[in-house]
A and B are shown apart, each in its own frame.
Chain A
């Protein structure tokens, strides 16, 4: 089975090396490395490739208004394999989902309200997926905030049949999640086993096949 984690954020080369060796033990076959500097992201991605794990580069854009975000997107989209958008407003969430350059819409636990029927329709139109990060679950806090928010987004995505991608957002190897633990957590949230499995295998693979290819085609055209 091809396990995929589309958000790893190593802070240094050493972290990247440690994460790459652990990712190999955990059975990941493809990862996306996040860094704002495309050069550094590629450098870290090469570390993963050296361990035999396919690696992409990715960037996350925080979007308050879509007008400003489109300009940023135009500038940086071609430097990375995958673009994710973290919306700060409902308008940004909807329009980002429709944009063919955007692969993932990152919804933090507090933004569960954006995951609704019209968001699903937009996601279908643009071919993007909803991304949930499991990093906030590690740091405890009020379960009504992080755990409940994450659970609601996952449940709504499953109910509306929206593609759902779960990532770790790990910055060091101690923050990485084993794909089986991710699957089990989704099942514990009340999702069907098949969808839980797709969230770490099929859905991210589909995003990589459609969106990452889109970028490579763009680069080739340039």
Chain B
């Protein structure tokens, strides 16, 4: 009788131990799973950030390519012109450029001046002849603005457009021919 009781007690202890171990191992497993979940979540967040950054990088690459295309498409035009002025002293290049920019601004606004990238690339003060660079899409606006220039500095003057060309070389050649024809 005593033996049976002892066996039963041992069995009960064993079962209790087994159950305790089982509960413990489950908790450990749950904790591990939680840790793994946390790690996976942080990894997913990290991946999301990486993907976002990669997206931005791709976007900027696309934007760069687009801008490059635009840059390539932005063709230039060279407008050769002669200045007819009042008095003996021909106007200085700064005065001529200022007058042209002011006239373009008056006709088409500052945005056009910025888009046209207006620049006096060549000017011969002795012959009062020069070459103006503009973008090809604002060519007509710049030519029309040249017609509005009636004063350079303090003196009356007119700008006569000689030729519009795609290269500075051809513009210079046209200028030379025009100067030869002048009286």
The complex places the Cα of A140 from the Cα of B148 at a distance, in Å, of: 10
B147-175 at interface with A (beta carbon < 8 Å): 147-148, 150, 156-158, 160-161
Q: Are A182 and B147 in contact (CB under 8 A)?
A: yes
B25 smallest CB distance to A (angstroms) = 84
- Can you name 19 A-B residue pairings with CB atoms under 8 Å? A22-B158, A25-B82, A25-B160, A25-B182, A26-B160, A138-B148, A138-B150, A140-B106, A173-B84, A177-B147, A178-B161, A180-B143, A181-B143, A181-B161, A183-B143, A184-B139, A184-B141, A187-B140, A187-B144
Report yes or no: B140 in contact with A188, Cβ–Cβ below 8 A: yes
Contacts of B156 in A (CB 8 A): 174
Is A21 on the interface with B (CB-CB < 8 A)?
yes
Check if A185 is an interface residue, CB within 8 A of chain B.
yes
Q: A residues 10-27 with Cβ under 8 Å of B?
A: 21-22, 25-26
Determine whether the beta carbon of A178 is less than 8 Å from that of B160: yes
Smallest CB separation, B75 vs chain A (Å): 17
Residues of B within 8 A of A185 (CB): 144, 147
Q: Which residue of chain B is the closest to A172 with respect to CB atoms?
A: B156
A-B complex: 3 closest residue pairs judged by Cβ atoms = A181-B147, A184-B143, A185-B144
By a beta-carbon cutoff of 8 Å, the part of chain A in contact with chain B is: 21-22, 25-26, 134, 137-138, 140, 173-178, 180-185, 187-188
> Which residues of B come within 8 Å of A, CB atoms?
82, 84, 86, 106-108, 139-144, 146-148, 150, 156-158, 160-161, 182-183
Q: In the bound complex, how far is the Cα of B68 from the Cα of A54, in angstroms?
A: 52
Closest to B141 in A: A188
Starting from the known contacts A25-B82, A184-B140, 8 additional A-B residue pairs (CB-CB under 8 Å) come to A21-B183, A22-B158, A173-B84, A174-B156, A181-B161, A184-B141, A184-B143, A188-B107
Q: A184 to B144: give the CA distance in the assembly, Å.
A: 5
Q: Report the separation of the CA atoms of residues A134 and B156 in the bound assembly, to the nearest whole angstrom.
A: 18
Q: Which of A22, A174, A178, A188 makes the CB contact (< 8 A) with B108?
A: A188
- Chain A nearest CB from B155 CB (Å) reads 10
A181 to B144, CA, bound (A): 5
- The interface residues of chain A lying within 8 Å CB-to-CB of B86 are 174
A173, B161: Cβ atoms closer than 8 Å: no
Known: A21-B183, A181-B146, A181-B147. Contact between A176 and B158, CB under 8 A?
A: yes
Q: How far is the CB of B96 from chain A (nearest CB, A)?
A: 16
In Å, the complex CA distance between A26 and B82 comes to 10
